[in-house]
Structure 1
């Protein structure tokens, strides 16, 4: 079988690391990088350190408005699909790359497999929510990571082709955790002590593009009295500069880091404060309390289990949670057994 995989953003590189090497043991895979994330630290470093096969095609789409970016991907993907004639197109998550990869395949009557299907924030103002809903409704194989994702699809009338395989990012964390400990020296380089700092990421447009939301986040971090490590996303850096916002000395701003360094930072943190869906999950996998700076989360199980607190961008709620939030329950088995990649291979190979 010839499988064509479309990736374009950091979380998708990590998911592909857990699946591509499994697929290639039995099938031919063509890997397309759309270039949605094109910064060296947001893209190439992940392929290098995770030993993801080198992309067969790089569309080099880059940044841009949603319509322009998605439309450019569609045009370029169609040429490749017609040339390669894949038996199946595999897409991950909820980015514009996901939607373009799935929509192009659907138009050409090529079956689509969606990894991380069924997630819902129930906030249709989010581009990610639009992307994931549209992708789910044109997919033949829907590989869901949790039981709530099955219910979400059922409520939309989707019951065929739904498979709960667990979370491929759990596969990746289990596989790379030891390597992250051995290969990354970032804790010593930053001169911070284990379990004595807060790890923070900020990148969602709903937070970066709104001066009031971003100002609240930065003020909460500044006033927390905690040592904060913040790998700075390029978009966040731009808006902080545009708005004239400043960090106090307790916030250590660093360049974006590779996956192994990020896992190391997560493993050794006291707590994680983020607006990233992927980092919320990694916090749970690594048994770290998580404070989510969004108005909702797709990962409702982490909240229900008491390990994730959704606080929006209310300064006082962020500040209180940084200082006081601690899980009160034992973690439940939410995300499978770490063998999602093998289960996906078994299902698509039938």
Structure 2
């Protein structure tokens, strides 16, 4: 059985790493399974690629479709054309897509049109916010998926409510957490640790990248002013997304305790997160990692596709109004932030469960 594993953006590679590892283990055990790791090229950074694959033990992709650049529509078209050309040469038994990036939707569509079954890892998660491109990607992908691998009971419910039969839903857990737990002992101290003289549980980690938070100069400045003004002098480490860096140059907020740094490697970034007093973010995946590491997390969004990080974990969704920052920082400093628990099956074994199920599907 041949599995095409699709990855196009940095979070995708964290999600596929445990699946690749467990397919290799199954092959070593003479099981009938093989894979092609396909990089769509949606996001490509040579510096990231040179270190990222090595850090996480991911093999270099077998194929790069080079579908990056341009608008979301242009990316979708380039990825679809590239994958269609690949399937014209050789088809897999299953196309496995992960998460909710453009590559996921694009390759799922091409696979189905080429009569290749689709398996979706992280199926069924929903934010309910159609203004987010990721939500459209999720809805389209799940509408044409054959096999659904889910991270939570909430995702299971979303799928059954949309008419998916139970026998096609597999509650397996979270591959992002497999990668986190495997690499936790290998986290690397970044240069900013010594430069800023950081101390454990005495600094914030900040990440912002969503257009609603960073594309408007006034909004971004207001958020940063509130974060700095309520941080009680603790260092705020802000790895800056390229989109955000351009705006910061224009508005230039400065503070002795605000540190802009280049995007960090996976092992460096999570070294900081694990030791942070709290994380402030508008990301989704980071809220999963903070939940497992027991780190308080404040999410500057109005909705989340990962509600278990709020209902079970350490995350709180506070919206995007800068005024909401002060009371939540006060709650942090008062020591009354919730402790949180780890969601079911977020145990480091998800990749194995997925591969075991794929092997059973291969004999259908």
Q: Which moved more, 1:339-348 or 1:30-39?
A: 30-39
How far apart are 1:28 and its partner, in Å?
A: 1.6
Asked if 2 retains the 8 angstrom alpha-carbon contact of 1:91 and 1:114, the reply is yes
Give the Cα separation in 1 of the matches to 2:313 and 2:182.
Answer: 25
Going from structure 1 to structure 2, the CA distance change for 1:250 and 1:41 (only over 3 Å counts) comes to: farther
Match of 2:30 in 1: none
Q: Does 1:150 align with 2:128?
A: no
Deviation at 1:264, TM superposition (A): 0.5
| Aligned twin of 2:242 | 234
SS of equivalent to 1:349: helix
After TM superposition, the score normalised by the length of structure 2 is 0.90
1:51-82 Cα shifts (integer Å, max 9, x gaps)? 10101112232232111111111011111122
Which consecutive aligned stretches of 4+ in structure 1 deviate over 4 angstroms post-superposition? none
1:247 match: secondary structure: coil
**Unaligned stretches of 5+ residues in structure 1:** none
Q: How many residues are aligned here?
A: 347
Q: Distance in 2 between matches of 1:311 and 1:64?
A: 33
Task: State the 1:236 CA deviation.
Answer: 1.4
What are the residue-to-residue correspondences of 1:272-291 with 2, within 5 Å? 272-291=279-298
Higher mean C-alpha displacement, 12-21 vs 323-332: 323-332
- The corresponding residue for 2:204 is 198
User: Which structure: larger Rg?
Assistant: 2
Query: Is there any run of 5+ residues in structure 2 with no aligned partner, and where?
Result: 28-32
Match of 2:260 in 1: 253
Tell me the SS of whatever aligns to 1:78.
helix
TM-score (norm 1): 0.94
Distance (whole Å) between structure 1 residues aligned to residue 55 and residue 297 of structure 2: 26
Q: Comparing 31-40 with 326-335, which one deviates more in the overlay?
A: 326-335
CA offsets 1:101-131 (integer angstroms, 9 cap, x no match) = 1111111110111111110000011100000
Contact 1:170 1:335 (8 Å CA) reproduced: no
Alignment match, 1:53 = 59
1:162-217 deviation per Cα after TM superposition (whole angstroms, max 9, x unaligned): 1100011111111000011xx43543354211111000111122322233432332
Counterpart residue number, 2:189:
184
1:219 and 2:225 correspond: yes
Q: 2:301 aligns with which of 290, 294, 306?
A: 294
SS in 2 for 1:24: helix
